[in-house]
Structure formats: C-alpha cells, structure tokens
Amino acid sequence: MWIEPKLEWFPTDFYNFEDLNRVENNTEVVTGLIAHFDAAPILIVVKNRDMKRFEFADSLNRIEGNIDSLRQRFTPAGWINNKLDWQSNTPFNFEDAARLEKNLSLLYFYYSGNYNALPYCGTVTCGEDVI
C-alpha cells in the first residue's frame, strides 16, 4: 500500500528510519505497478528499520539504484537524477530526502494513472435464452 510521501523537506527537518522505510515501501509499490505493464525489475527492499539500525553508503546506493531501475522503462518529466555514488562519510541532506520522495512520487503518479486507465475484461453472454 502506497504511503503518502513527504515532498517538502527543509534544512531543519530530521530524517529517520521511518522515512527510509516509507521510501522502500513506496519503491515496492511502484515495482508492483510496473509489473502490470512490463517485467518488473527484481529489487531488494528493507522495510523493517528501527532506531537501532545504522545505514551505510551501500544501503543508500542500493536504494538509489532501485529507484533508478524503476525509471528505466519511463523517465517522467521533473525527474531528479539519482545519486549512485554514495561513499562513507558523504553527508545526506534534505535535498537527498526530497529527491528520493519526489522521484518515487512521479513514478507512482504515472503508473497508477495508467493502471487505472486499463480497460476491464469480462465475459458477456448473449442469446435468446432467459437467464
């Protein structure tokens, strides 16, 4: 289930484990939407973070790589290029948080809109017999 993203981040905002759990959850949701149209990329997501977990550069590279994989089929207007070269001690700031949420939101808007426009199929019984 899609969790409403936080799209407005400010320098004074704090980023915590719940925010990354939301990003990974929404990554998984977008992957499911893509699967309705094409082969979805196989991604590794982690949604069970808590206060005791430390994130490292490899996690951020995986998260950014996952989101970048989702845009390979379609890159929406307004896309902000992913940062795929996280290294130890590289600071994560409010602009990084905004990029993750904004890019996922753009993909979700595109794919959910197209999914909702898919025609429904069913069977129709025609004939002279009374049902």
Quick: pLDDT tens for 6-44.
Answer: 999 999 999 999 999 999 999 999 999 999 988 999 999
Instruction: For residues 71 and 131, give the distance between their C-alpha atoms in angstroms, rounded to a whole number.
Output: 49
Nearest Cα to Cα of residue 33 among 116, 117, 112: 112
Question: Residue 70 burial (CB < 10 Å; 0-12/13-18/19+)?
Answer: buried
The pLDDT of residue 126 is: 61
Tell me the pTM.
Answer: 0.86
**C-alpha distance from residue 88 to each of 68, 109, 118 (Å):** 21, 33, 44
Phi-psi domain of 89 (left: phi exceeds 0; alpha: psi -120 through 50; beta: other): left
Segment 87-127, tens digit of pLDDT: 999 999 999 999 999 999 999 999 998 887 776 655 555 66
Q: Is 93 helix (H, G, I), strand (E, B) or coil?
A: coil
Instruction: For residues 34 and 115, give the distance between their C-alpha atoms in angstroms, rounded to a whole number.
Output: 9
> What's at 123, amino acid-wise?
T
Q: pLDDT over 70 for what percent of the chain? A: 89
The pLDDT of residue 17 is: 94
**Residue 54: band (very low, low, confident or very high) from pLDDT cuts 50, 70, 90:** confident
Instruction: For residues 1 and 58, give the distance between their C-alpha atoms in angstroms, rounded to a whole number.
Output: 26
**Beta carbons of 104 and 27 less than 8 angstroms apart:** yes
